Amino acid sequence: MPPEFLPVVARPQVRPATEGWSQKLDGEGRPLLQFASPKRGKPPAHFADLTVEQRKARLVELGMPAFRAKQIATHYFTHFTSDPADMTDLPAANREELVTGLLPPLMTEVRRLATDRGDTIKFLWKLHDGALVESVLMRYPGRITLCVSSQAGCGMNCPFCATGQAGLTRNLSAAEILDQVVRANRALANGELGGKKKGETTPERVSNIVFMGMGEPLANYARLMHAVRTMVAPQPEGLGMSARHITVSTVGLVPAIGKLADEDIPVTFALSLHAPDDELRDELIPVNSRWKVDEALDAAHAYFEKTGRRVSIEYALIKDMNDHAWRADLLAEKLLARGRGWVHVNPIPLNPTPGSIWTSSEPEVQDEFVRRLNAAGIPTTLRDTRGKEIDGACGQLAAADA
C-alpha cells in the first residue's frame, strides 16, 4: 500500500514539563524570560573587543607605533597565539607587559571530552568570574565546524534545554566569543582533533561557525555582531571566514531578526521552531508568548527576501510531543503559504534520555515526519547528531560541573 494511504495511528500528546528542576516563573505565573544581562564584573578589556582603528589608537596611547596593532592581530587571528614568547617581532623590552595587557587570558579550560572516533571535542571553559561556557569542535568531510556560546547560561527558559535551567548568568563579551574560535584553531594547529581521513585536504582551521551553543545569540546582539564582523574581516584584522559559513540561530526574537536582515552580512539564519502550533510552542519555547509562530515565520521570510539567503528551520523531534504527522503537515502548510524556495527544514533527533519525556522520536516516526515535508515540496534533511557519548547537548557539561 502506498505510504499516503497508510492508516494514521493516533498517538498520545505528551506535554512539556521540567524534570529534576523547577522553571523560574514571573509574577503572573508564566515562564520567566530574561532579555537583559545581569550586572556582573566586566571581563578583562581585550584587543579583540576593539575595531581596527581602535586597536591602532590603543597602541598609540601606549606609546607604540600604530603598525604594531597589525603585528599583534597577525599573531592572534592568524597564528592563534597570545603567548608573548611567540611574538619576536615586537620589542623585547616591554613585550610581555604589552601583550598580556592587550591579550589577557579570557578562558581557562576546565574539561574536555572527545568521542571515541576523535572527530568531536567538547570544551568546558571557565571565565574570569567563574562562569562556565561550552564550545564543541566537530570534523565533517570537507569542513570543520565550531558550535559557539554567546552567553553564559540562557534567559529563554525552554524546559527541554540544559542551559536554561540556571537562567542567564551574563552576556559574553565579543572577545570571549572570538576566543572560543581562536582556542579551537590552536587545538587544530596542535593536531588535537583526530578523525582526519587519509588524503583529506581540509585546512586545519575552523571553517564553519554555528551560534547554537549556550545562550540566545540575538539577546546579546551588539557583541554578537562585533564578533561576526571580526570573524569575516580578512586576516590579519580578523579571522578571514566566509559569512555564508556562519549560522546565527534564535528561538524567535522577532525585532532582532529584522535588525540582522539589515546588517548586510550574508550569514545563514536559523529559526529554532520546534512546533508549528502556538498551543504547544507556548509551552515548549516560552518566548512564543511574546512573538507567535506566524510572527517568527514572517520575520524569517523577510530575512530571506532582504538577503536572498535561504533560511533554516531547526526542529528537535521529541517523542509523542511534537513529532506527530499532522504537525509535519501544518509546518509544510505554514511554510508554503510564504512561498517556495526560501526555506530548508532540519529535523534534529533529540539526544535520548532513558525514562524521560524528553527523548528522541522512533526512527519510523522521524522518517514519516521528513517524508511528509519532502512530499509537500519543503527541502528537509534529518541532521546528523554529534556528541551523545560526551554530553554533547548544549549545557549538559556545564550543568554537571556547576
Enzyme catalytic residues: 134, 394
Q: Which of 215, 205, 118 minimizes the C-alpha distance to 162?
A: 215
Is the alpha carbon torsion for 143, 134, 242, 336 positive or negative? Answer: positive
Grid cell of 378 as nine digits: 519543503
Contacts with 153 (C-beta within 8 Å, 6 or more apart), sequence order: 131, 163, 164, 166, 167, 168, 169, 170, 214, 215
Is the alpha carbon torsion for 229, 193, 348, 16 positive or negative? Answer: negative
Write the DSSP string, 122-177. EEEEEETTS-EEEEEEEEETTEEEEE--SEEE-SS--TT-SGGGG-EEEEPPHHHH
Contacts with 254 (C-beta within 8 Å, 6 or more apart), sequence order: 290, 291, 295, 296, 299
- Compute φ and ψ for 142, nearest 5 degrees: 85, 0
